[in-house]
């Protein structure tokens, strides 16, 4: 029986491409890659809807090197899409023998993304993957040259599609036809496409070539203020972010909370002096319900230790926030 490995990002296009090939009686195994910047959560949910197995591959280390120095450059933000796709297909290509599969499926759509999915970029990805003759793009196959799989009769070209451009009408009609209802927005998934995250990552990499995993995870949470080369303030925006932040803290980090008002949880990460503590307290005041009060009492202490320290401050000014905020 013919078998294919489908790259599953967790978005709609990749799952439709897998389903389109599965409809031809071909066995399909989903392959999802995880790194510091995206995970398998959506892919798990999506593959269940079309009943295919999913293998998760962690390529964080290799992917991070690509993010730092992509051969074909970054996109609008810190996303090295061409290099990233080529790396994924290279990994999948090496798995073909192991999983006794015949070819690779991807959900790429010609001209959907002007930089990374034009004809030239798609050809670069195929070439640099090292498995150019094993890659099938079912959603746009009819407007691309026939692949070896089609020429050999493994796949019926007439049952593939010729979608092009940024419109989503064809994909949404297919999803409805196949009962695929639970899918994320096209923009979801990769943190590297998010402007705020990308700015923070770039700032971190300018200071530290090999950041720790925790530092990369912290970039996903709240507002960030760089106060010294080795310290920053993080202010949560929601209760959910507060819970996420707690999972990443150590006993070296200092937590700040307004004593008499609800508001942001603020954390001082890194080496800090008295002036830094004062600034963190002022940021805490600014993002609390009592921000308009003349003075507020802020309680603080090391994480997992009693917060027995108190300081009275006024709220940080707009100028102070602008001076230190990473944005």
| pLDDT tens digits, one per residue of 30-58 | 999 999 999 999 999 999 999 999 999 99
The pTM of this model reads: 0.89
For 44-62, b/e burial (b = at least 16 CB within 10 A) is: eebbebbebebbeeebeee
- Are the C-beta atoms of 41 and 6 separated by less than 8 Å? no
Max CA pair span of the chain:
77
Tell me the HSE value of 226 on the side-chain side, using a 13 A CA sphere.
13
| pLDDT attached to residue 237 | 96
The span from the CA of 78 to the CA of 233, in Å, is 23
| pLDDT attached to residue 141 | 96
- Are the C-beta atoms of 159 and 140 separated by less than 8 Å? no
Structural domains for the chain: 3-191 (3.40.50.620), 221-324 (no CATH)
| pLDDT attached to residue 161 | 96
Bridge partners (DSSP) of residue 32 are 56
Bridge partners (DSSP) of residue 104 are 5, 135
The span from the CA of 232 to the CA of 152, in Å, is 58
The span from the CA of 68 to the CA of 208, in Å, is 11
Residue with tokens 């150590």: 250
**List of the chain residues with pLDDT < 50:** none
Q: Please report how the helices 169-177 and 12-22 are oriented relative to each other, as an axis angle in degrees rounded to 10.
A: 50
């Amino acid at each position: 029986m013919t078998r294919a490995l489908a790259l599953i990002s967790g978005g709609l296009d990749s799952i439709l491409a897998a389903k389109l090939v599965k409809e031809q009686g071909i066995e399909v195994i989903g392959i999802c890659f995880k790194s510091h910047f995206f995970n398998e959560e959506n892919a798990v949910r999506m593959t269940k809807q079309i009943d295919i197995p999913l293998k998760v591959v962690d390529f964080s280390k290799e992917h991070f090197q690509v993010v730092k120095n992509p051969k074909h450059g970054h996109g609008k933000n810190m996303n090295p899409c061409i290099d990233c796709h080529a790396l994924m297909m290279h990994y999948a290509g090496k798995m073909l023998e192991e999983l006794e599969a015949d070819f690779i499926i991807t959900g790429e759509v010609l001209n959907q993304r002007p930089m990374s999915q034009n004809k030239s970029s798609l050809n670069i990805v195929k070439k640099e993957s090292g498995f150019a003759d094993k890659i099938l793009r079912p959603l746009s196959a009819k407007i691309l040259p026939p692949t070896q799989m089609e020429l050999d009769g493994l796949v019926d070209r007439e049952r593939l599609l010729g979608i092009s451009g940024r419109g989503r009408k064809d994909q949404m009609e297919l999803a409805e036809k196949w009962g695929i209802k639970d899918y994320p927005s096209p923009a979801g998934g990769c943190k590297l496409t998010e402007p705020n995250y990308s700015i923070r990552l770039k700032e971190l990499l300018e200071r530290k070539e090999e950041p720790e995993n925790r530092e990369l995870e912290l970039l996903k949470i709240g507002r960030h203020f760089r106060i010294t080369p080795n310290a920053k303030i993080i202010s949560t925006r929601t209760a959910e972010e507060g819970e996420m932040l707690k999972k990443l803290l150590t006993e070296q980090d200092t937590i700040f909370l307004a004593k008499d008002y609800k508001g942001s949880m603020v954390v001082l990460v890194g080496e800090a002096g008295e002036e830094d503590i004062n600034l963190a307290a002022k940021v805490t005041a600014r993002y609390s319900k009592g921000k308009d009060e003349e003075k507020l009492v802020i309680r603080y202490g090391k994480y997992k230790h009693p917060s027995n320290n108190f300081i009275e401050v006024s709220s940080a000014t707009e100028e102070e926030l602008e001076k230190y905020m990473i944005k």
